[in-house]
Structure 1
């Protein structure tokens, strides 16, 4: 594939361009100065027929040297004489000798440096004021494997990797339509990270896509090392505890979101792809909800909603009832709790904070420790510390059980970034419960609900389907209705293309 590339728009101004000259020495000196003290930079001198001089420049370790030898060096060195009588130029060599699938040509030294840093090789020839870019990037990368953070019992086993080309291809294999558009950006003054915006033309709302493009184009930063950088830079409300973009390392999940009118943002160097706009209900949905029959998916989804409530409110309710509202508890249960807490020197709030902080510390330690021992340390540590704390009279046995149930419930939330939000909001609710009792919990829930109603994800309400209420979207909020009942796409798609399947299909 041949294409001519000029200077990348938005990276250099017209006055800063330095054009290639016909002097090979001048061009090489410029590159030698740019790559000074770069011991992995390779400058290979070449001599073709008729004493034509050339220099091949690339970085060792990030190019496919075997492909470079077989598709570039051998054809040029062995068969260049066949073109010599015609006074060949760079274009002739590119079209008639080089057998690479993708090449391009550049005329500015800045673009030349960028292409080398991207992992390509460049060929400079004496007497020509343009250089040939050889797309042989091939740094060692992890192969496609099963996703680690989104494991499923039933569903595809392929997961994204750190190569953006591989990730885009995995989605292309699932959506074989010319409507799937990919817009490329290069973000980061120093890292020059490749970022790809994907959306379905004719399904995604044009105003949402235009807003995403505007936000991506406005990013000015020295480097992008992970998609989390972009997430923070383009979200609507950076001070909200709730994520306004989802991330996934599953190609099937990204493909399904694109078909619903959402967009996806791929970032070079990370297997996590951003998806948006999003809402609260999608944070509770898991991949298997749509791969299993709808009755099973509905049951599991209702269970997750209940456990999310437990993870958020259970410690607060325990603190409020044992501190201010003992009359709400059955007499037998109240006597049991009172007997367990008789020797505890701390109020319920301090007791809960001690156990919650200890549990969060063990969970964080389990993540940081090696995988072979991390899980064992976190589980055994919780058991040992909990038992020791009870025997020492620091916390009561009911509090250990409450914190354990809360921790287990938080693990059932499918999306890690949303689970962290729930865990974080649990602490202010505990303080409100310890100070004001049930009134404080109600006030906290009211403030959270008010924030959720006002929250937006790329202009779309965070509680869409409920506030504002949309009947066709409520079919996939708490209850997952059969596929033959979900005939329309969500509100993130264009009004002119809402139909998902034939309207008269009855299953």
Structure 2
């Protein structure tokens, strides 16, 4: 009795120890170098155990065992992640090709089927490759490919069967336009590359693929046009991305932050876009486009200051109208940066510069307001930023209502309670609205931050403090570079030819050169001749 109980106890201990060891094995981590060194065996059982040991206890990992041939059967198994593949591809292009079609062409033995399969026949999928190590096997299965293991073969067939869910191509909500194409990037890399290739039918358009992230292994594509883009710029971008050492990349903003020239600067050095036409236009200018898998936002390099103030719609409207709109953007940007500071400086230190009637209106509007101009401006600016963030984070219909109602109610109530003057409400509202005219969302961030220190120096030194703050800001912008390109180019350094598509938008027929800082050669973008009617008047009525 005692011996039986002790033996049972030992069996229980042994089984529990075995379960613990299996649990420990399933939690074991595998490096890329270790997976690269793990070669496949000719034994199907060994390969299956090795794969399951590496993959762990994944609920969505599907395995389907079957046999090849009616006689001299050979065992096989196919593995895939259920949520990354298209089941129709698995059934019609793989399983039917292996289990049904061979018998119709006289392949009855398993050896004959395996021989035809090794020659590249039977399976109708276009993308199929063979490998003998576990790294390529796991890389394939983790990106939505099916892996086929066969008894007696020390190689795996990696078959493309991607079919994960994604949203359809639609219009961009971040960069809306009135005239121009309506499509925008989505989270699928192959779709985004296709949207660009639909616009640029050139064999010189190149998309280099890199994997970034020790854990996520995110695919990052570097796009450029050979013969137009500078090879030095391509090498620099490729080097900076290859040096990224991080666990995961979940969006293009990770890449943007990790390849930045001046990480302590508030101003973005890379342009963001969701529009394929904007990315295509940048490629034609000799720039580089970085597209990251699982994100709809592409990066354009280099990103100078003036390129961040441009919109895709500028090239879809008449050049005179587009030029006027660009001037309006520059004025709005200056208003958003300096208007509160300018008002504080004038009201506190330079009343003699204000016309008498306007000064009387300012004084009468501030009658009964207990707060100084500076505190009043800080209070209103902070309230405006809170309402802006609240409108963005709430559901869209509710967010718009909160923003509009909140601004009206709080502004009106604050004026009636004599906490702020009506003129200050106008100044803060005009400042906020001016920033909304900027097409690039990230170039507005520095303005939202820098106007607070400018208000501080203006409240202390008046217009001298404002000019001193702007001078330091200008010096900083002149010192910043975007991948070797001066941030304020073509104004600093001055390049008169590049002004055609910077401060103004010149006619398309006058674009006889590309930006000098990004090109390998200066082949004309157009003929440079103004369109004219035929001299013989054949088209005249």
Whether TM-score is above 0.5 comes out as yes
Partner of 2:246: 221
User: Does residue 1:124 correspond to 2:157, yes or no?
Assistant: no
Deviations 1:102-125 (A, max 9, x none): 111121112211211111111111
1:377–1:15 CA distance, 2 compared to 1 (3 A): closer
Structure-1 separation of matches of 2:469 and 2:43: 71
Gaps of 5+ in 1: 1-10
Partner of 1:44: 64
Query: Would the aligned equivalents of 1:90 and 1:128 in 2 still touch at CA under 8 Å?
Result: no
Partner of 1:210: 235
Q: What aligned pairs does 1:70-85 form with structure 2 within 5 A after superposition?
A: 70-81=92-103, 82-83=106-107, 84=109
Query: Would the aligned equivalents of 1:180 and 1:198 in 2 still touch at CA under 8 Å?
Result: yes
Alpha-carbon offset, residue 496 of structure 1: 2.6
1:506–1:465 CA distance, 2 compared to 1 (3 A): farther
Partner of 1:315: 340
User: Does residue 1:158 correspond to 2:183, yes or no?
Assistant: yes
Q: What aligned pairs does 1:394-413 form with structure 2 within 5 A after superposition?
A: 394-413=419-438
Alpha-carbon offset, residue 92 of structure 1: 2.6
Structure-1 separation of matches of 2:35 and 2:139: 18
SS at match of 1:221: coil
1:288–1:503 CA distance, 2 compared to 1 (3 A): closer
Structure-1 separation of matches of 2:173 and 2:126: 34
Provide the TM-score with structure 2 as the length reference: 0.89
Alpha-carbon offset, residue 91 of structure 1: 6.8
Partner of 1:35: 55
Gaps of 5+ in 2: 1-30, 533-541
Deviations 1:222-268 (A, max 9, x none): 10101000000001111111100011110000000000000000111
Partner of 1:104: 129
User: Does residue 1:241 correspond to 2:266, yes or no?
Assistant: yes
1:323–1:478 CA distance, 2 compared to 1 (3 A): same
Partner of 2:170: 145
1:447–1:195 CA distance, 2 compared to 1 (3 A): same
1:262–1:100 CA distance, 2 compared to 1 (3 A): same
Structure-2 separation of matches of 1:216 and 1:396: 51
Structure-1 separation of matches of 2:511 and 2:497: 7
Query: Would the aligned equivalents of 2:43 and 2:153 in 1 still touch at CA under 8 Å?
Result: yes
1:69–1:85 CA distance, 2 compared to 1 (3 A): closer
**Aligned equivalent of 2:161, options 121, 136, 152:** 136
User: Does residue 1:463 correspond to 2:478, yes or no?
Assistant: no
Structure-1 separation of matches of 2:41 and 2:152: 8
Deviation larger for 271-280 or 325-334 = 325-334
Deviations 1:57-114 (A, max 9, x none): 0111210000110000001011345443864547735621000121111211122112
Query: Would the aligned equivalents of 1:48 and 1:80 in 2 still touch at CA under 8 Å?
Result: no
1:439–1:343 CA distance, 2 compared to 1 (3 A): same
User: Does residue 1:169 correspond to 2:198, yes or no?
Assistant: no
Partner of 2:81: 59
Alpha-carbon offset, residue 338 of structure 1: 1.3
Structure-2 separation of matches of 1:170 and 1:449: 38
Structure-2 separation of matches of 1:148 and 1:317: 34
Query: Would the aligned equivalents of 1:90 and 1:130 in 2 still touch at CA under 8 Å?
Result: no
Query: Would the aligned equivalents of 1:147 and 1:158 in 2 still touch at CA under 8 Å?
Result: yes
Q: What aligned pairs does 1:281-300 form with structure 2 within 5 A after superposition?
A: 281-300=306-325
Partner of 2:13: none
Partner of 2:286: 261
Structure-2 separation of matches of 1:401 and 1:322: 15
**Aligned equivalent of 1:302, options 315, 323, 327:** 327
User: Does residue 1:113 correspond to 2:138, yes or no?
Assistant: yes
**Aligned equivalent of 1:489, options 494, 514, 523:** 514
Structure-2 separation of matches of 1:441 and 1:395: 23
1:90–1:307 CA distance, 2 compared to 1 (3 A): farther
Deviation larger for 432-441 or 72-81 = 72-81
